[in-house]
Amino acid sequence: MKTKSSSYRLEYLDWVRGFGALIMLQGHVFHSYLRPELKESGPYLLSQFVGGMPPALFLFLTGVTLAFLMDSTERKGTAPLQRVTTSLRRAGYLFGLAFAFRLQLWIFGLPAAWQDLFRVDVLNCMGFSIAVLSVMALFRTAERIRLCAVLGMAIAFASPLISSLDWSGVPGLIRAYVIPDYNAFGIFPWGAYLAFGVSAGSILRSVPPDATERVMQWAAVLGGALILTCQYFANSSLQIYAKSEFWLNSPAQVLTKLGVLLVLVAFAFLWTRYGAKPGWSWVRQFGTTSLLVYWVHIELVYGKASWFLKGNLNVAQTAVAAVVIILLMLTIAVVKTYRAEVKAMLADWGWVGLAAEGSEPPVS
């Protein structure tokens, strides 16, 4: 029987991250492989509607782990400026990953435009948002709960106003990091999810383990209330902005997704505590290796490796392709996590004996 411990925090967060990886995979496969004339069909629209959640989910969970980092350095008695520096190093790490990722895609896609190297993707948004929010490390964990929630709301509600400003004299790269855009992940509005994640992570670090279940109950209630309230105002005639697009910069869209995330996190907590069997979970496996899955599948789905499938499949064929890609990514993730065990198993079968012998250094 499972014991109630803080390990559940890692388990349910990994489960949520893994679920996000799954819906990301199917969304990208449908986007890349489905025939163009079928992209007005119900299955495709449903796929893309669900597939629009992973960026918000990954940013939110990045904020949660950033809150854990800030709380950890605070508990260790680290000086305030050093805590900020630690957060900035996390931002630099993600920026490095983002540019390495774009460089690989650019090299594998040659000939390709050099501007593709500077596309602002979700990893860039993570790095930039963490850099902006690193100042939150100056405050105590209890203070970050309120401050980051307010900051998230400010980013969400300012997004339509940012879109309405004249940015014509600003370099395109800066605009991509700031202005709401269908083709980029600017801090408006995407940074709001990371700020909300820092607030949520600070709550989790502020409550004792035995109070986490009550927190999850309130998260589900708040999430449901956000979904219903935001959908009501999104469909009403009341307008507070001169111009706003729901899927681009609307606060209602941001807060609706936040509500879905809160409900999902609460469900994952209950599932991993009371519903899931002890031991390995294929969904959590995706969560623990989500960066690897993201990195590999982008090249496989959008790169030259599957050129013969792009835009050539019907709905049923694309669904099968999605299952195949998911299983392939799961295999890669398992091998990555359990590579020592896999190598030992292959050695028992005699498949890597020669390789193992060849790896021994020569005797002088």
Q: So what's the pLDDT on residue 305?
A: 87
Peptide bond into 189 cis (omega under 30): yes
Which of 23, 29, 21 shows the shortest CA–CA distance to 309? 29
- Crossing angle of helices 212-234 and 187-206, in 10° steps, is 150
What is the residue-level pLDDT of the chain in tens, covering all 364 positions?
A: 343 344 444 799 999 999 999 999 999 999 999 999 999 999 999 999 999 999 999 999 999 999 999 999 999 999 999 999 999 999 999 999 999 999 999 999 888 899 999 999 999 999 999 999 999 999 999 999 999 999 999 999 999 999 999 999 999 999 999 999 999 999 999 999 999 999 999 999 999 989 999 999 999 999 999 999 999 988 888 888 989 999 999 999 999 999 999 999 999 999 999 998 888 999 999 999 999 999 999 999 999 889 999 999 999 999 999 999 999 999 999 999 998 776 777 677 766 554 444 444 333 3
* Any domain includes 246: yes
Residue 362 counted as domain residue: no
- Tell me what pLDDT residue 5 has: 40
* Cα(201)–Cα(291) distance, integer angstroms: 20
What is residue 363's predicted lDDT score, i.e. its pLDDT? 38
Tell whether 87 is covered by a domain: yes
Q: Which residues partner with 313 through β-bridges?
A: 34
Domain count, the chain: 1
Domain that holds residue 172: 7-338
pLDDT value, residue 352: 55
| pLDDT score for 351 | 63
What pLDDT score was predicted for residue 234? Answer: 86
In a domain, 38, yes or no: yes
User: Which residues, in sequence order, are bridge partners of residue 100?
Assistant: none
**How much is the pLDDT for 346?**
67
Within a domain: 348: no
Evaluate whether residue 344 is within a structural domain: no
Question: The pTM is what?
Answer: 0.91
Note whether residue 357 is domain-resident.
no
54 in a structural domain = yes
Q: CA 213 to CA 217: how far, in whole Å? A: 6
pLDDT score for 354: 43
Distance CA 116, CA 103 (A): 9
Start-end of H helices in the chain: 7-33, 42-51, 54-75, 80-108, 122-133, 141-164, 172-178, 187-206, 212-234, 246-249, 251-270, 282-288, 290-302, 315-337, 339-348, 353-358
